[in-house]
Structure 1
Amino acid sequence: MEDHLLASVRSTVFKESETLEGTCTKIEGYDFNRGVNYTQLLKSMVSIGFQASNLGDAIEVVNQMLDWRLADECSIEDCTEEEEKDPAYRESVRCKVFLGFTSNLISSGVRDTVRYLVEHHMNCDPTKTIKVPERFDYELCLSLLRASATSQIQLDSNGTLQKA
């Protein structure tokens, strides 16, 4: 009985998957090192993956941080140093931006945007190390987008995702 069960599990788990190349969109982000082409940047959102809408929200928050100056704050009564009351000083004080993210973003199309931000604009990146399996996924496997987040999907007997 155990041998039959083990054989059944092995035949299901180790079944060769069908290739999805050519039938799905490859997950990858926009390469900012090629310059900013807004048309191409917007087109790339299709291939970024599920994180694209959250990335858009994050961009708005980061832009607010980048635009902030101490001079935007009305109250100066609680300033203890005379320098803090000086309008020129208050205009020069900007927000420090820390980029924190989980390692699963590195195995998504957002990794290209994260790489660019870390390379060119970050004050600090407090991200913990990437997991080994995600690093293998990034290096050895193509990431493909087949179903939308709202679609119901299931794994068929060939190891391929199908709409339910």
Structure 2
Amino acid sequence: MAARVILEPGMPAPDFSLPDQDGKTRTLAEFRGSKVVMFFYPQAMTPACTKEACEFQESTAPLEAAGYRVIGVSRDAVERLRRFADRDGLEYPLLSDPELVTHKAYGAFGEKNSYGRIVEGVIRSTFVIDEEGTIEHALMNVKATGHVARVRKMLGV
């Protein structure tokens, strides 16, 4: 197994080209000039991921007022992301990465401890990227519950 990438503050954020829940191709470059909060989550419409996604939705207005755009990334198909967005009123881009290319570029896929077993899977992670595309914060292997509040506190939002 290839070593997992570890991104740290000050490093350039890897660009990506992924479809969102509407099938529109999104890239990191299109968000230049805005700060980005990009979170990776294991699976749409599961309890913990729904909680995290909904908490990000509830925080979208204050984050945007502070200059941040929210982006969610999972390995789900575009159609499932559309259902997720519709069901839970998620208005920010949800990106589909079924090949895990972007997950791996950000170190958000690899070995993790799941209920005492070492498995390979999506590592719940959040990256804060500045207006120039540089990593400001890399939060790896986070818990869904309370995470958005922690991000907001860290960003002073």
**TM-score (ref. length: structure 1):** 0.22
Structure number with the higher strand fraction is 2
Larger radius of gyration: 1
TM-score, scaled relative to structure 2: 0.23
